Amino acid sequence: MVYYLSQWLLDRSQDTAWDDALSFLRLFRYISFRAGGAAITALLLCWWFGPKIIAWLKRLKFGQNYLDKAEETGLLAARISKKGTPTMGGIMIVAAMDFSALLWAQWNTLVVLTLLSVLVLAGLGFYDDWAKIAQQSNKGTAEHVKLVVQFTLAAFIAVYLWRVPATSKLISDVMVPFYKYPVAIGAVGVVIGLALTVLAIVGSSNAVNFTDGLDGLAIGCTLIVSFVFVVFTYIAGNYRLAAYLQTPYVPGAGELTVICTAMIGAGLGFLWFNCHPAQVFMGDTGSLALGGALGIMAVLIHQPLILPIAGGVFVAETVSVMIQRGYFKYTRRKYGQGRRIFLMAPLHHHFEKKGWHESQVVARFYILCILCALVALTTLKIR
């Protein structure tokens, strides 16, 4: 909205006495300026209405009034219980992020598609959080219900991008890191591209959800990955940079940089209240939406496979859950009693079981996430 207002004022003031006075409004034509504005706006919004949202959630008793998995197993017995801490704090992130992005971005199909998808996934997460509170358990919505909604949304995005001529190559031409040419095109590329798009969105959404288990862990890792996507989205939307680095150029993708910085601002604002000991949890309302946003943007910049590299910590958390569940079910069928590979899944709880303090786990996972982010950035030059 700010962009359109500034350009309207510039057009109206042209060749008038106000021309020089309003010349500073040309700054709003630069993505870098608007991206900075979005980050600051989102951060200030979270600082402003964060305490109000936390107080509101407490009044409504939207707190975690049940033991989480770690507390059920006695893992946190000697520590301060998380029981009673407000959840659904993802409302704060999504509201600040979407409002700031709409305020500062130049609206196009990519921006609208991303923000609408974030709202859908936030709504799904909100329903799941509500189910947990209503049932007073950590089960929430049935897994198949969440997966149906996620796969439906992801499939819609994939088919939409494929059927629209301006974005069809995002699906039909399959790109991989460290290689500058499509590895698959035509009918084969369409099949692979559709599958990659769906897996990127659904997988990323659930991966961030699995990582959300310790104070500041999920949002901190999301911030690190978002910084990577600030770079990638800016390059993808800049023809000269994309040509120089031999990366895919996607018209309009530069505006996704504004969404990334809005996510960073909102994430930093939320981390202010979520750092240990947390005053509020993001819940599925935030984790599903943030993960989905990263997955969607990876697809929209024609780099779906860069996400598993940048978000290596998210991948490790997800794989640990898959291995744990799969091995447990296999051994239960074979031996009559389920066995486990990890002391507890997701992976962050395994290290807590091994005696690491919560803050140690979070800090060390941050370090690993930064390492993964650096590897992802190297793909820009090693092609």
Closest alpha carbon to 169 in 157, 161, 179, 177: 161
pLDDT at position 9: 87
DSSP code for 173: S
Measured CA to CA, the distance from residue 233 to residue 264 in angstroms comes to 14
Measured CA to CA, the distance from residue 155 to residue 147 in angstroms comes to 12
To the question of pTM greater than 0.85 for the whole model, the response is yes
Please enumerate in sequence order all residues whose Cβ is within 8 A of that of 194, keeping only pairs 6 or more positions apart, or say none. Answer: 155, 158, 159, 162, 171
End-to-end CA distance of the chain: 38
Cβ atoms 154, 198 nearer than 8 A:
yes
**Partners of residue 174 on adjacent β-strands:** 184
pLDDT at position 152: 97
Which of the residues in the chain have pLDDT under 70? 64-81, 137
Is cis: bond before 304, omega within 30 of 0?
Answer: no
**Partners of residue 86 on adjacent β-strands:** 63
pLDDT at position 16: 85
User: Looking up tokens 């090693």, which residue turns up?
Assistant: 382
Measured CA to CA, the distance from residue 231 to residue 2 in angstroms comes to 23
What is the three-class DSSP state of 39? helix
User: Looking up tokens 């051994």, which residue turns up?
Assistant: 331
